[in-house]
Amino acid sequence: MNAYDRALAEFQTAQHNRRTAEEWLAAFEAALATPDQARLAALFHADSHWRDILAFTWHLTPTASGDAIAARFAREQARVGAHGFHLPPNRRPPRDVTRYGIASIEAIFAFKTTDGRGAGALRIAPDTDGTMKAWHISTVLEALDRHEEKLGANRPTGAAYSRNFGGDNWADVRRKAVAYEGREPTVLVIGAAQAGLSTAARLNQQGIDTLVVEKWPRIGDSWRKRYHSLALHNAVQQNHLPYMEFPPTWPKYIPKDMLGNWFEFYADAMEINCWTDTEFVAGSWDASAKCWSAVVRRGDGTERTLRPHHLVFANGVSSYPMVPDLPGIENFGGDVVHSEGFDSGTAWKGKRAFVIGTGSSANDIALDLYSNGVQTTLIQRGPTTVISIDPSARLGELPWSEGSSLEDADIVVAAATPPLTVKALTANAKRMYEFDKEMIDGLVSIGFKHDYGADETGHLMKYFRRGGGYNLDTGSSALMIKSEIGLLHNEKIARFTAEGAQLDDGSVVPADLIVLATGYFPQAELVRRALGQEMVDRIGPVWGIGPDGELSNMYKRTPQQGLWFIAGGLAQCRINSKYLALQIAAMELGKLGPL
């Protein structure tokens, strides 16, 4: 086929895909307007999936099966009044894709509701009779009417301080905004890393007065103060923060200090009100005033009680460092440090170290110690999923590597329902094993306990379920296989002694340093210490997979009014901060009540 014929074929395919998507959307809108449940069901495959994000249900709501999807659309339409379904010119045009093993036409569409403007992803494939039907759809609330984000042509004029001779300039306005003298924030966000900054930036664009408190002296210290050699394990194109993408000159895997500095710059550029060197101490809900009594302690020891309507915990999937019960550890004569406090192995050059744990942090720390001339042994406590960063971990980055805009890629990623996520992760785990077979076989040959999770769903489902249990390999596995980094199973250790680890056969493996890469308590522990056990019991689990397959109490209203949680990697926080901010804005506008 010559270039002309190829271009003609591509044009004809593009026209066919657009026409197919437009015809489906028109039929869908006509059925929805009635609403006619039977007509709606006829537009979907029997095995279909819908994820609604606020647009129809004001929740993160997965629905499976064509009949159930039709019933829910019909039920919600009377309130939602969805209409105007179309293919917007500023989004990626419909195209042929294969998602979850199904060859489909994938289209990004837009629509309107009584509350605002929506978007979604649609996947259409032929049914057994050849009829083009949807097998996957998502609907996402993108903006509230009359409260759109202040972007582009809608940006602020700056009239409040521009050329305000004799009055406040921008710096004066910012100083007064951050001081919170004589006013209370509507939202108090705890933590100024990716989750807190993304949330505050989104809330600012909704016109919601937001204060972020950060326990470290500088924004970004939560990354700067992690171990010396740390860099992100996933590629730059998926890790942008809202509204400001990283420069195109930045490395594929961003070093921790570079990221920390960006966070500090980002907070200033996005006009985020933040109190650093400030710790959230305690909080209680005032049911009569419908606000929190939130106590924060500044670096000078002074305390202030704030009265926000909303409290957002944005301090990570994990909370406080977990130190397991290690028999005899109190007798150890060397240094014991948790991975949270580990910086570099330079001080232990020529010495011996144990690293307890075999997750990513443990392996990175072991590699750092080894590179600094420390005789290093990893102590494995349970099965660990090990995958290569490239190519295996890159499989999860595909939506952001397909040439789409960041906004379009985020729509595609957010569309996934829990069953589809499990299906994709299971398929990816199989491909990862094929890529990494030599490395995994080598690890197994030295006695390393390897798995892909209890149901073969791989490392990401471990992350969603428990926040750990995997290693994105940066080179330590090859060194273990060659016995240059040691491997010791925890069950062989009878107890720790002054000299090191006494094994069950009575021998002692000496050490000068023990690094506890043993993870962190789940967020429930943070809630318990800050808000009390009664609050933990009221709201239930935070993070982990809930009964509907979604993350428990994350990015959405919880059983406690005004209490919110956001955590995860940079992409998760960028995507879900938008939905969290829209819910808070809707509550402040009286459009949405508590659960």
> For 41-80, what is each residue's pLDDT tens digit?
999 999 999 999 999 999 999 999 999 999 999 999 999 9
| DSSP code at position 124 | E
Residues 57/76, Cβ–Cβ less than 8 Å: yes
Give the residue from 592, 481, 562 showing the smallest Cα distance to 144: 592
**Tens digits of per-residue pLDDT, 205-229?**
999 999 999 999 999 999 999 888 8
Q: Is the pLDDT of residue 396 over 90?
A: no
Fold of 170-319+525-588: FAD/NAD(P)-binding domain (3.50.50)
pLDDT band at 163 (very low <50, low <70, confident <90, very high): confident
Q: Write down the pLDDT at residue 11.
A: 86
Q: Is the pLDDT of residue 264 over 80?
A: yes
Same fold, 15-144 and 170-319+525-588: no
**Tens digits of per-residue pLDDT, 448-496?**
999 998 899 999 999 999 889 999 999 999 999 999 999 999 999 999 9
CA 328-334-339 angle, to 5 degrees, is 85
Say what percent of the chain tops pLDDT 70.
100
Q: Is the pLDDT of residue 154 over 90?
A: no
pLDDT band at 8 (very low <50, low <70, confident <90, very high): confident
Least-confidence region, from 2-11, 415-424, 573-582: 2-11
Fold of 323-518: FAD/NAD(P)-binding domain (3.50.50)
Token pair for 4 = 């002309």
Q: Is the pLDDT of residue 1 over 80?
A: no
Show the beta-strand stretches assigned E in 298-416: 303-306, 310-313, 318-321, 335-338, 352-356, 375-380, 385-388
Q: What is the mean pLDDT of residues 301-320?
A: 91
**Tens digits of per-residue pLDDT, 502-519?**
999 999 999 999 999 998
Instruction: Report d(CA 40, CA 28) in Å as an integer.
Output: 7
Q: Write down the pLDDT at residue 435.
A: 96
Q: What is the mean pLDDT of residues 289-311?
A: 97
Between 586 and 9, the more confident residue is 586
> Ramachandran region of residue 12, left (φ > 0), alpha (ψ -120 to 50) or beta?
alpha
**3-class DSSP state of 24:** helix
Q: What is the mean pLDDT of residues 250-276?
A: 97
Q: Write down the pLDDT at residue 550.
A: 97
Q: Write down the pLDDT at residue 5.
A: 78
pLDDT band at 155 (very low <50, low <70, confident <90, very high): confident
**Residue 374 identity:** V
Instruction: Report d(CA 124, CA 127) in Å as an integer.
Output: 9
Mean residue pLDDT across the chain: 95
Q: What is the mean pLDDT of residues 303-326?
A: 90
Say what percent of the chain tops pLDDT 90.
86
Q: What is the mean pLDDT of residues 162-168?
A: 77
- Bond preceding residue 248 cis, omega within 30 of 0: no
pTM: 0.95
Between 520 and 499, the more confident residue is 499
Q: What is the mean pLDDT of residues 179-196?
A: 97
Q: Write down the pLDDT at residue 516.
A: 97
**Tens digits of per-residue pLDDT, 558-581?**
999 999 999 999 999 999 999 999
**Tens digits of per-residue pLDDT, 328-377?**
999 999 999 999 889 999 999 999 999 999 999 999 999 999 999 999 99
Q: How would CATH label the architecture of 15-144?
A: Roll (3.10)
Q: What is the mean pLDDT of residues 296-308?
A: 97
| DSSP labels, 207-251 | T--EEEE-SSSSTTHHHHTS-TT-B-SS-GGG-PBTTBPPPTTS-
Domain ranges in the chain are 15-144, 170-319+525-588, 323-518
Q: Is the pLDDT of residue 174 over 70?
A: yes
Return the number of other C-beta atoms located less than 10 Å from residue 56's C-beta.
22
What is the chain's Cα-based Rg?
26
pLDDT band at 318 (very low <50, low <70, confident <90, very high): low
Give the residue from 309, 305, 314 showing the smallest Cα distance to 283: 305
Q: Is the pLDDT of residue 417 over 80?
A: yes
